[in-house]
Amino acid sequence: MAEIEKLKMLQSEREALKKRSRTAVTEQVKKREEATENVCPECGSRQLVHDYERAELVCKSCGLVIDEEFIDRGPEWRAFDHDQRVKRSRVGAPMTFTIHDKGLSTMIDWRNRDSYGRAISSKNRAQLYRLRKWQRRIRVSNATERNLAFALSELDRMASALGLPRNVRETAAVIYRDAVDKNLIRGRSIEGVAAAALYAACRQCSVPRTLDEIAEVSRVSRKEIGRTYRFISRELGLKLLPTSPIDYVPRFCSGLTLKGEVQSRAVEILRQAGERELTSGRGPTGVAAAAIYISSILSGERRTQREVAEVAGVTEVTIRNRYKELAEKLDIEIIL
């Protein structure tokens, strides 16, 4: 019995030694791979270039071939324009939060054509129509998914009307999904929460839109959007800084067809105003509009107060008050 126990102990010690040696070898291999991937062993440069035609990893500084015959993980086909790329690609669109099933379900196309592009025969069209109808029904299985699908389509509609980029839409969809997960929708309208999520996403992505602009494209009032936004930002712990007037400058200048020189000068005026704390406690759109008005006069591309007010969505009185204040505090001489 004692001999058997000794044999068992010896076997366990051998296994422990094997494990240690394996881990030591794997760590050494990892270190070597990291070293070859990041640094040239000859000159220590980090400027490494992947030459996919020759399957080589080359140092840009000294020309040393660090690695060769590595695997090309790209597609095996070539495409010279967008149409060829779409035709030869065998994968679908990437996952997105703007669709209720994240874009992972199957879609039966509305065109009556097969995978080769040939027209479907009239005998099979009725069957395809029935398949398409049932596919639409099964994609939304319960009330929660149906409400989510409606909310995300509403988000997409509002974002399209405001001309917002893709990243804002994705962020708004994530915020809305978080609100659904925390059961914040109960007792509130879907349109109101969707509009509030879009407003929060605009602020988060530094593509600001005012509550009035969101209210124009939504089906709820400005007051309702503001109240819902405050509620979901508090419950979800969204840490959003106050909107900067500088974020509005590119959009307003584009609406007034002003050159880049006017835009950069307006940004500089707003930076100086921010350093002297002239922007705190004032509406960012009014301050941005006043800075653009001053900049347009100084750059010789004069725009009237009414034109600037229409684009910025503020009154002429606001622009007049703000521009006088900025000109006085920053010692800007304006010749009207």
Best-predicted range by mean pLDDT among 2-6, 128-132, 135-139, 221-225? 221-225
- Read off the pLDDT of each residue in 39-53 and give the average, rounded to a whole number: 83
Is residue 43 annotated as involved in ligand binding? yes
Name the pLDDT band for 2 (thresholds 50, 70, 90): low
Q: Does domain 141-234 have CATH number 1.10.150.120?
A: no
Q: Domain 38-73 is in which class? A: mainly beta
Q: Do 38-73 and 141-234 agree at the fold level?
A: no
Is residue 40 annotated as involved in ligand binding? yes
Over the stretch 10-45, which tens digit does the pLDDT of each residue have? 667 767 666 666 665 556 545 545 544 578 888 888
Residue 235 predicted with pLDDT over 80? yes
Select 243-328's CATH number: 3.30.1300.10, 1.10.472.10, 3.40.50.11060, 3.40.50.150. 1.10.472.10
Over the stretch 275-321, which tens digit does the pLDDT of each residue have? 888 888 888 999 999 999 999 988 888 899 999 999 988 999 999 99
- All structural domains of the chain with their residue ranges: 38-73, 141-234, 243-328
Q: What is the pTM of this model?
A: 0.67
Per-residue HEC secondary structure of the chain comes to CHHHHHHHHHHHHHHHHHHHHHHHHHHHHHHHHHHHHHCCCCCCCCCEEEECCCCEEEECCCCCEEEECCCCCCCCCCCCCHHHHHHHCCCCCCCCCCCCCCCCCCCCCCCCECCCCCECCHHHHHHHHHHHHHHHHHHCCCHHHHHHHHHHHHHHHHHHHHCCCHHHHHHHHHHHHHHHHCCCCCCCCHHHHHHHHHHHHHHHCCCCCCHHHHHHHCCCCHHHHHHHHHHHHHHHCCCCCCCCHHHHHHHHHHHCCCCHHHHHHHHHHHHHHHHCCCCCCCCHHHHHHHHHHHHHHHCCCCCCHHHHHHHHCCCHHHHHHHHHHHHHHCCCCCCC
Residue 170 predicted with pLDDT over 80? yes
